[in-house]
A and B are shown apart, each in its own frame.
Chain A
Amino acid sequence: MISRRSILMAAAAIIGFPARRVGAMEVFRLGLTPVFLDNDARVVDQLREAFADTLGIPVELEQRRTYEEVTGLLLEGSVDAAWLCGYPYLQHRKSLELMAVPVWNGRPLYQSYLITGPDNTATTLADLRGSTHAFSDPDSNSGYLVTASDLARMRERPDSFFKRTIFTFGHRNVVRAVGDGLVQSGSVDGYVWEALTRTEPDLTKRTKVISKSEWLGFPPFCTRADRAGEPAIRAMRLALLDMGKTAQGKAALDLLQLDRMAAAQPSLYDGIAKRMRELENVF
């Protein structure tokens, strides 16, 4: 059975797979957020050890509660790379550069799901007017931007359309909030919901998907643009792109239910950029 710990270990394997020495760098710092991967102190310790073993230098995993915090760490240079969402990447597109993007079900794409409780009679976003709603993170594409931009198309704002909105700062938490009945609906990463369906079916069973967004660019690994040429950053990019070629890396990808890592072009996130513009233009 695939557990969250396994997924985290797999993520660690992905990041730490290339057993390359990274020159003069004494420690490699990678930013993570529990928005995408749930937090687990023991798994973080194992990740840290795995990265240190594969990169040949100590690895520090800097975890912050929100995308905003992790993005801030990346931009100020407190971390060397970070697994971000497409939305914050586009928000800081000029300062950031794509390192790699996970490939899921053959494509580097995913969807945003609008979920409700199994007994909820709503079938569209419009039916959820006046209800309570859970977002994952204000800087999450699937966990906020998609629903907010859909409402913008309806000339609505989340605060006025819903009776109350909450942020759970975690896609899994959105599923918990909806499944436990804390809120009536939620916006969640489709990849996370599908992964949870396999690892925690009892959790997703208490929710149902009432609508899915168009396919959008998968959350990428990013680094700061001005540091993209550093050996350690290049080593990490190569390690990410090649991780599917070794048994250890493949096992990690399997645990994450990902196919491989691929090079990404900024145009992959045009769909998200379009939604950002729609949201900005309306309000």
Chain B
Amino acid sequence: MRGGRPLPLSLRVPLLTVALMVLVGIIASQQVLTTLRNVQNERIRELAQLQIEALSVALGPLVLRKNVWEVYDTLDRATGETHVQRLVFTAVADENGNILAATDPRRAPLDSPIRALARDAQNLETLSIPDQGTDIRLLSDLVYQERKVGQILIEMDVSDLLAARGKAARLLLIGNAVATGFLALLGYFGMRRMLRPITLLVRHMRNSGERPEPIPQTDMPRGDTEMTRLFRSYNSMVSSIEAKAEADKRLANRERFVSLGRLSASLAHEINNPLGGLLNAADTIKTYADRPEVVRESAELLTRGLGHMRDVARATLDQNRLDRSGAVLVVEDFDDLHLLIRPEVSRRSQDLDWRINADQKALSHLAAAPVRQIVLNLLLNATEASGQGGKVGLRVSVLGGSLHIEVSDSGPGLSKVAAARLLGNGPASSEGGVGLRVVHDTTCELQGVIRLNRTDGMTVVTIELPLKPGQRGDKC
């Protein structure tokens, strides 16, 4: 994973523009300097060729006769009459390479070999100005009447050309830096301006948290530009998301009613079961009204059955009343849940493992209604998933400042759709387990955490609900 926060698009694009401009500036400068270097090289070659040709014409017959003084005098006069001291040194040798004369005789003594001075000398065809140094050296044949009669070594001062090259490079550097900087600023602000709608779009998307908010009509770009169309599409998308969210909400409410429906069915079954016994007891009383022991026994049976029905009715009333009362969670709430789920468990001949290990003090940090809703929904789904003769378990404990609620079942495990409904934040599908989205949303409201595990053939859904407000965070 890369460190640091990536730069926003509104900075990256202008900065990329600046970088490209700098790159173009560098390439353009390099091209100009290369052209200048080539022009200078061509000029110095032309100049050197002219010098060599002029010296060959003037010195040819003198070199042929090996007239030392005339060669020297000609070189000396030529040097003295030159206004621009481009040619700083000239040496002339005979055909054997021995110096006849030079503009600086002490440097090139008479009869000394010219090759001693010709180190690093270039030839006319490839003569070029190096990047460093002030002089260039050229060794050429001295041709007279189409015959090589000697050699000429010339040294030319190119410091002015190098200075011009350096000056051009500096001016280019400064000019390009200023121009590039100016253009880069223009580009930066231009790009910022062009990307302003994108920035606005991003801001609206960020400001809304999970729910994007539409862009007001006053902020819409003028005309039918790409941005205008993009903004309209965005607003349409926002509307769609809002509609979807509303649909999810309605679906969640429906799930709540579905849960209640299933619960009601269980309750009806719970009431229906003892109802037959009660009617039999009533018939027995009527039949054996004269037998006090039978009446008494039947009356007790009636009392127990009606008591059970009263408890079931009370638990059901509590389940609905607590939604509005805001009462805190108590241990008895789990007894109620046990009472409510037991008919479903019994109907499916399931094995219920019920362990409540939480004290009242810890439970009192939580509201009763949402916790009961979470546990009831999970238990209903667990009984559904476990099937006939399966295993269903509830384990409640307090660990590390959180209430841990584990609902396990021996079913085949949650499908991907059901797991997504339970764990995900995305749009809820209408398929999957009943009330799982209610569990998810309610847990999120309580800033809790949901975990789904599958071990030893058991599916375990763990809900961790922080007990203290300070520990609660945005867990979902």
Q: B69: CB under 8 A from chain A?
A: yes
Q: Do the beta carbons of B101 and A182 come within 8 Å of each other?
A: yes
List residues 108-135 of chain B with CB under 8 A from any CB of chain A: 109-111
B73: chain A residues within 8 A (beta carbon) = 168, 173
A180 and B111 in contact, given A166-B68, A167-B69 (Cβ under 8 angstroms): no
Cα–Cα distance between A245 and B68 once the two chains are bound (Å): 44
Q: B72: CB under 8 A from chain A?
A: yes
Q: A163: CB under 8 A from chain B?
A: yes
List residues 279-313 of chain B with CB under 8 A from any CB of chain A: none
A164 and B69 in contact, given A180-B105, A181-B105, A182-B101 (Cβ under 8 angstroms): no
Q: Do the beta carbons of A168 and B69 come within 8 Å of each other?
A: yes
Q: Do the beta carbons of A182 and B111 come within 8 Å of each other?
A: no
Q: Do the beta carbons of A177 and B69 come within 8 Å of each other?
A: yes
- Interchain nearest-CB distance for B458 vs A (Å): 111
Q: Do the beta carbons of A183 and B110 come within 8 Å of each other?
A: yes
One digit per residue, 1 when the CB lies within 8 angstroms of any chain A CB and 0 when it does not, for chain B 88-109 equals 0000000000000100111001
Q: B76: CB under 8 A from chain A?
A: yes
How many residues of B are counted as interface, with CB atoms below 8 angstroms from the partner's CB atoms? 12
Q: Do the beta carbons of A166 and B69 come within 8 Å of each other?
A: yes
List residues 333-359 of chain B with CB under 8 A from any CB of chain A: none
Chain B residue at smallest Cβ distance from A176: B76
Q: Do the beta carbons of B76 and A164 come within 8 Å of each other?
A: no
B72: chain A residues within 8 A (beta carbon) = 177, 180, 182
- Interchain nearest-CB distance for B180 vs A (Å): 55
Chain A residue at smallest Cβ distance from B69: A168
Chain A residue at smallest Cβ distance from B67: A166
- Interchain nearest-CB distance for A128 vs B (Å): 14
Cα–Cα distance between A168 and B105 once the two chains are bound (Å): 15
B109: chain A residues within 8 A (beta carbon) = 181
List residues 175-204 of chain A with CB under 8 A from any CB of chain B: 176-177, 180-183
A167: chain B residues within 8 A (beta carbon) = 69
- Interchain nearest-CB distance for B69 vs A (Å): 4
Chain B residue at smallest Cβ distance from A117: B106
Cα–Cα distance between A168 and B101 once the two chains are bound (Å): 13
One digit per residue, 1 when the CB lies within 8 angstroms of any chain B CB and 0 when it does not, for chain A 152-184 equals 000000000001101111000100110011110
Cα–Cα distance between A176 and B105 once the two chains are bound (Å): 11
Chain A residue at smallest Cβ distance from B102: A182
Point out the residue from A132, A168, A169 that lies within 8 Å of B110, measured CB to CB: A132
- Interchain nearest-CB distance for B308 vs A (Å): 137
Q: A240: CB under 8 A from chain B?
A: no
Cα–Cα distance between A168 and B110 once the two chains are bound (Å): 15
Cα–Cα distance between A168 and B37 once the two chains are bound (Å): 44
Cα–Cα distance between A167 and B69 once the two chains are bound (Å): 7
B105: chain A residues within 8 A (beta carbon) = 180-183
Q: A134: CB under 8 A from chain B?
A: yes
B101: chain A residues within 8 A (beta carbon) = 182
B69: chain A residues within 8 A (beta carbon) = 134, 166-169, 173, 177, 182
Cα–Cα distance between A183 and B106 once the two chains are bound (Å): 9
Chain B residue at smallest Cβ distance from A168: B69
B111: chain A residues within 8 A (beta carbon) = 132, 163-164
A164: chain B residues within 8 A (beta carbon) = 68, 110-111
Which of A163, A169, A176, A177: most chain B Cβ within 10 A? A177
Cα–Cα distance between A26 and B69 once the two chains are bound (Å): 39
Cα–Cα distance between A85 and B109 once the two chains are bound (Å): 32
Cα–Cα distance between A202 and B203 once the two chains are bound (Å): 87
Chain B residue at smallest Cβ distance from A134: B69
Cα–Cα distance between A167 and B110 once the two chains are bound (Å): 14
One digit per residue, 1 when the CB lies within 8 angstroms of any chain B CB and 0 when it does not, for chain A 131-148 equals 010100000000000000
Cα–Cα distance between A132 and B110 once the two chains are bound (Å): 8
- Interchain nearest-CB distance for B432 vs A (Å): 109
Which of B72, B76, B101, B106: most chain A Cβ within 10 A? B72
- Interchain nearest-CB distance for B91 vs A (Å): 12
Chain B residue at smallest Cβ distance from A135: B69
Cα–Cα distance between A173 and B74 once the two chains are bound (Å): 12
Cα–Cα distance between A166 and B105 once the two chains are bound (Å): 14
Cα–Cα distance between A181 and B68 once the two chains are bound (Å): 13
Chain B residues within 8 Å of A, Cβ to Cβ: 68-69, 72-73, 76, 101, 104-106, 109-111
Contacts A167-B69, A173-B69, A177-B69 known; list 13 others, CB within 8 Å: A134-B69, A163-B111, A168-B69, A168-B73, A169-B69, A180-B72, A181-B104, A181-B105, A181-B106, A182-B68, A182-B72, A182-B101, A183-B105
Chain A residues within 8 Å of B, Cβ to Cβ: 132, 134, 163-164, 166-169, 173, 176-177, 180-183
Q: List 30 A-B contacts (CB under 8 A).
A: A132-B110, A132-B111, A134-B69, A163-B111, A164-B68, A164-B110, A164-B111, A166-B68, A166-B69, A167-B69, A168-B69, A168-B73, A173-B69, A173-B73, A176-B76, A177-B69, A177-B72, A180-B72, A180-B105, A181-B104, A181-B105, A181-B106, A181-B109, A182-B68, A182-B69, A182-B72, A182-B101, A182-B105, A183-B105, A183-B110
The 4 A-B pairs of least Cβ separation, nearest first, read A181-B106, A182-B105, A181-B105, A166-B68
